[in-house]
């Protein structure tokens, strides 16, 4: 059970660090080697910056929320239920990863709506 809680902690910290990197530290030049790597995001520097800033923001919010709310809930259930709380921790981790995937897909959809295939802004 303790391993699952450690995995939850690693997931949330990884999301925060990954989001911070995407939002603030991703390459701002033509390298674009690490970050939100899709064809649409790499089609122009403007699209690249938008994708990394937006996805990074969502990842930071999700990781922080999970760290502040999800982990304490897991600890409370573990305190009262012991090893019977394994299913809650697994569901919580699955929900967290599903949310990260959802927000990443959402950013990809936003890119398709805001930029054409050449990376030029539609708006």
User: Domain residues of the chain, as ranges?
Assistant: 2-114
Average pLDDT of the chain, as a whole number: 88
Per residue in 3-15, pLDDT (tens digit) is 888 888 999 999 9
pLDDT at 70 over 80: yes
pLDDT at 36: 87
pLDDT at 14: 95
Q: How far is CA 89 from CA 1, 66, 100, 108, 111, in A?
A: 9, 12, 17, 29, 33
pLDDT at 55 over 90: yes
pLDDT at 123: 67
């Amino acid at each position: 059970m303790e391993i699952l809680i450690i995995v939850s902690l690693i997931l949330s910290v990884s999301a925060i660090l990954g989001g911070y990197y995407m939002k603030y530290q991703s390459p701002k030049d033509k390298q674009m080697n690490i970050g939100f790597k899709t064809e649409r995001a790499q089609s122009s520097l403007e699209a690249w910056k938008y994708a990394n800033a937006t996805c990074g923001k969502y990842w930071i919010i999700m990781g922080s929320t999970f760290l502040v709310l999800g982990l304490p809930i897991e600890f409370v259930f573990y305190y009262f239920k012991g090893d019977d709380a394994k299913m809650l921790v697994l569901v919580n981790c699955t929900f967290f990863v599903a949310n990260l995937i959802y927000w990443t897909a959402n950013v990809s959809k936003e890119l398709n709506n805001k930029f054409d295939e050449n990376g030029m802004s539609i708006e």
